[in-house]
Amino acid sequence: MSFDSIPWMLILPLLVIQLVLVIVAIIDLVRVRSTNGPKWLWAIIIILGNLLGPIIYFIVGRRNE
């Protein structure tokens, strides 16, 4: 399998969405005072969780103030 056979026009938007979600989630994690759980754990989930990590953080990790 070579890189020429990968449909980049289909994968590129998903990669951009993932990158934006990770950046926004990390910025939010740094700015927020408290979360549901330790911040270091949420940072690991956001970074290693690919597309679902930031989404899980925004649904579960943020504490409604």
Residue 53 pLDDT more than 90? yes
Residue 48 pLDDT more than 90? yes
Asked if residue 3 is part of any domain, the answer here is no
Secondary structure of 23-48 in HEC code, one letter for each residue: HHHHHHHHHCCCECCCHHHHHHHHHH
Band of pLDDT at residue 7, cut at 50, 70 and 90: confident
Look at residue 43 in the predicted model and tell me its pLDDT.
95
Asked if residue 39 is part of any domain, the answer here is yes
Contacting residues for 26 by C-beta, under 8 A, at least 6 apart = 43, 46, 47
- Please state whether 43 falls in left (phi above 0), alpha (psi between -120 and 50) or beta: alpha
Asked if residue 2 is part of any domain, the answer here is no
> Model confidence over 11-44: pLDDT tens digits?
899 999 999 999 999 999 999 988 988 999 999 9
Domains identified in the chain, total number: 1
* Structural domain that includes position 49: 8-61
* Average pLDDT of span 39-62: 92
Residue 64 pLDDT more than 80? no
Asked if residue 1 is part of any domain, the answer here is no
Q: How far is CA 7 from the centre of its chain?
A: 23
